[in-house]
């Protein structure tokens, strides 16, 4: 069912984010009317997934066909794409970069268009995964009214949770996302590499660790931080930390620096939980800083 008083939407860029958002918005009643992409094949796939969406070889035709235009190209291309097009009052243009603000749409703003950003705070490994994962996600949104309200409503229509950001917030917001998502992958990879020291291959190690990972995520969600913290630092168990350091020095010395830094950042979480005192925290800190 087509929504009333909702702008016609167009997409410039038909990669994972553009295709997933276009498909999801269309499924919620938004009129996705046009798409342009450097890859004709990608544009056609998006068009086939969204009824009534026309492929335009010239991106300017998509600007003219739509009221609200998403630039969903790679981040480094957004500013160039925006500056290459003709904008005017009555048009709105947004991008979906997590780190960039509306500043990179300044040429469109100067021409009279409304500008904004909407970033689904989600891991988007492929179109199928993005379509599955985006609903219910948090959306980082930047812009001015009335566009700000339109973007918030879009997020809510996808079951999402909009949070309003200022331009100066975007980079730290995105760095936090990288730590929670991308670097989590790195941590798990580091853990599975340690399992190789006792001859367990990566795929088996990953499967063995997955119940622990799922349990941890579940506890973060249900109990919250800091109460979900478990393990030797949560207990003030200096003896186990010393054993870890000794073993890592022999088995995987390149991981030891990371282990120490993560441990030091975990001590305040344990203090917040209230299960260790300041003396225990200092003893843990001394060990992890090699001051013992």
Q: Using an 8 Å Cβ cutoff, are 106 and 84 in contact?
A: no
Asked if the model's pLDDT at residue 2 lies above 80, the reply is no
Asked if the model's pLDDT at residue 292 lies above 90, the reply is no
Q: Using an 8 Å Cβ cutoff, are 1 and 29 in contact?
A: yes
CATH architecture of 9-169: 3-Layer(aba) Sandwich (3.40)
Q: Using an 8 Å Cβ cutoff, are 33 and 57 in contact?
A: no
pLDDT at 5: 67
Sorted by sequence, the CB contacts under 8 Å of residue 280 that are 6+ apart come out as 236, 238
Closest CA to 226 of 163, 182, 281, 156: 281
The mean per-residue pLDDT over the stretch 81-107 comes to 96
Residue spans per domain, the chain:
9-169, 180-288
pLDDT at 161: 97
Q: Is 139 helix (H, G, I), strand (E, B) or coil?
A: strand
Confidence grade of residue 3 (pLDDT, cut at 50, 70, 90):
very low
Confidence grade of residue 1 (pLDDT, cut at 50, 70, 90):
very low
User: What is the rounded distance in angstroms from the CA atom of residue 85 to the CA atom of residue 61?
Assistant: 10
Element (H, E) at 215: helix 202-222
The mean per-residue pLDDT over the stretch 269-286 comes to 96
Q: Which tens digits make up the pLDDT trace of 43-87?
A: 999 999 999 999 999 999 999 999 999 999 999 999 999 999 999
- As beta bridge partners, residue 121 has 138
| Beta-carbon count within 10 A of 30 CB | 21
Q: Which tens digits make up the pLDDT trace of 188-230?
A: 999 999 999 999 999 999 999 999 999 999 999 999 999 999 9
Confidence grade of residue 6 (pLDDT, cut at 50, 70, 90):
confident
pTM of the model: 0.89
Q: Which tens digits make up the pLDDT trace of 131-178?
A: 999 999 999 999 999 999 999 999 999 999 999 999 999 999 999 999
For residue 207, CA distances in Å to 124, 126, 203, 212, 250 come to 21, 22, 6, 10, 25
Q: What are phi and psi of 11, to 5 degrees?
A: -125, 130
The mean per-residue pLDDT over the stretch 13-37 comes to 96
Q: Is 145 helix (H, G, I), strand (E, B) or coil?
A: coil
Closest CA to 141 of 164, 169, 115: 164
90-119 burial: b if 16+ Cβ within 10 Å, else e: ebbbbbbbbebbbebbebbbebebbbbbbb
Sorted by sequence, the CB contacts under 8 Å of residue 229 that are 6+ apart come out as 266, 269, 270, 273
């Amino acid at each position: 069912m087509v929504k009333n008083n909702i702008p016609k939407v167009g997409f410039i860029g038909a990669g994972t984010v553009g295709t997933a958002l276009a498909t999801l918005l269309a499924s919620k009643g938004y009129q996705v009317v046009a798409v342009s992409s450097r890859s004709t094949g990608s544009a056609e796939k998006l068009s086939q997934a969204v009824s009534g969406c026309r492929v335009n070889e010239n991106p300017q035709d998509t600007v003219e066909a739509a009221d609200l235009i998403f630039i969903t190209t790679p981040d480094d291309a957004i500013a160039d794409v925006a500056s290459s097009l003709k904008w005017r009052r009555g048009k709105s243009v947004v991008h979906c970069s997590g780190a960039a603000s509306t500043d990179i749409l300044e040429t469109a703003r100067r021409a009279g268009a409304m500008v904004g950003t909407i970033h689904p705070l989600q891991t988007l490994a492929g179109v199928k995964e993005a379509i599955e994962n985006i609903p219910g996600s948090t959306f980082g949104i930047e812009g001015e009214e009335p566009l700000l309200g339109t973007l918030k409503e879009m997020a809510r229509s996808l079951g999402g949770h909009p949070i309003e950001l200022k331009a100066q917030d975007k980079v730290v917001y995105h760095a936090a996302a990288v730590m929670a998502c991308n670097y989590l992958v790195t941590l798990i990879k580091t853990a599975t590499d340690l399992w190789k020291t006792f001859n367990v291959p990566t795929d088996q190690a990953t499967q063995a660790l997955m119940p622990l990972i799922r349990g941890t995520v579940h506890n973060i969600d249900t109990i919250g931080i800091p109460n979900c913290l478990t393990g030797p630092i949560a207990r003030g168990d200096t003896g186990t930390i010393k054993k870890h350091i000794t073993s890592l020095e022999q088995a995987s010395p390149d991981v030891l620096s990371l282990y120490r830094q993560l441990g030091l950042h975990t001590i305040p979480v344990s203090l917040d939980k209230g299960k260790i005192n300041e003396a225990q925290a200092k003893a843990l800190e001394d060990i992890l800083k090699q001051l013992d």
